[in-house]
Amino acid sequence: MSKKKTYSVDTNLAGGLGWMDESFKGVIPGIYPSTTYERDADGSYPNGRVYTRDQNPNYDQPEQILAGLEKGDDAYLFASGMAAAISVFQALKPGDHIVAPKVMYWALRNWLLTLGADGGLETSFVENGDLDALEKAVIPGKTKMLWMETPANPTWVVDDIQAWSVVAEKSGALLAVDNTVATPILTRPIEHGADLVMHSATKYLNGHSDVLAGALVTKSKDDFWERIGRVRNAGGAVLGPFEAWLLMRGMRTLSLRVARASTSAMAVAKALENHPNIEAVLYPGLASHPDFEITSRQMSGGFGGMLSIRVKGGEQEAMDVAARLVLFKRATSLGGVESLVEHRASIEGPDTPCPVDLLRLSVGIEDAIDLIDDLKAALEG
């Protein structure tokens, strides 16, 4: 790249900040599998690396790019989105109180209710979008973390990050936002007042359904961030160098993939909004969505590739529709180039807040007309 100091998001992603393999002038940095690093004769480490558990060179590029995308001060990679999220809670202390929404990633909610509680953490769950309930749930002097996910999986309720940040600041708590679905291409929570941002990098950041990864970004390198770093170092829940390299490969096309998925998801939502066999289309980009005003302020450049449909006829009919789909594969996960469908209630279990007639759709980068035809054929039996 030239000596120009600032570039657009698309340019930084596509060019990987201009990083190259300096040894052989390859335009793509190499993979560094070494687990350990040699000391100098005086016992020092000339490159500042001791052991690869959290110091592998393949972490540097995606961490720096992700911190830049989220307008944060630093970033950490983890072995999965769950590992990233749990490290935040493990950095808290027994007896600390957390407030989180009722509709959120189910595996993390279950962790808070089980292993998190076993470790001494207390969590209150509030209705998504209810700021009064959020304020009432805060315990002065005890609440240390507000955790939010927006849009919320799988109902796609959109909470107001700035409003949550005001509550967090008043209570002296940190605000962490799961930004997996929106990605920094569409929403940058730190700009709206968040202290921490979490990603299941398995999803849109990688975008090819072939890497398990997670990431955290911090607004500032404070004491709590340093504590999270110690949790990561001690636990060792980090990526292998090849997985980190694959993640970086996927991140280069993030802008293109998110834009395509957003455009296609909007087309799908509009095509199905008035379908006679659908009870409701849940997509934050529709003007009929109850949170559209918040969404329009908080998201820019699109509304994401995720939506859900509630099928008339109840649970069995929803399952039958999913079974009739051809292009949408029946599989867990989201954010890949291929479109996926999932009946969330049967996955999450009896305590799920998810309606039993709901199908979650992850719209990929296929032709939108083909996807719409596939859905309509399945709905019409």
Q: What residues act catalytically?
A: 53, 105, 178, 203
For the record, the structure tokens of 73 come out as 């001060």
CA 199 to centroid of chain Cα atoms: 4
Rounded Cα gap, residues 25 and 48, in angstroms: 23
Is the peptide bond prior to 33 cis by the omega test (within 30 degrees of 0)?
Answer: no
Element (H, E) at 197: strand 196-199
Rounded Cα gap, residues 191 and 298, in angstroms: 10
Looking only at the bridges linking them, the beta strands covering 97-101 and 174-178 are unpaired
Contact 214, 78 (CB under 8 A): yes
Rounded Cα gap, residues 223 and 121, in angstroms: 20
Query: Considering only CA atoms, which of 335, 199, 201 is closest in space to residue 260?
Result: 335
Looking only at the bridges linking them, the beta strands covering 122-126 and 143-149 are unpaired
For the record, the structure tokens of 266 come out as 């909007």
Rounded Cα gap, residues 35 and 49, in angstroms: 10
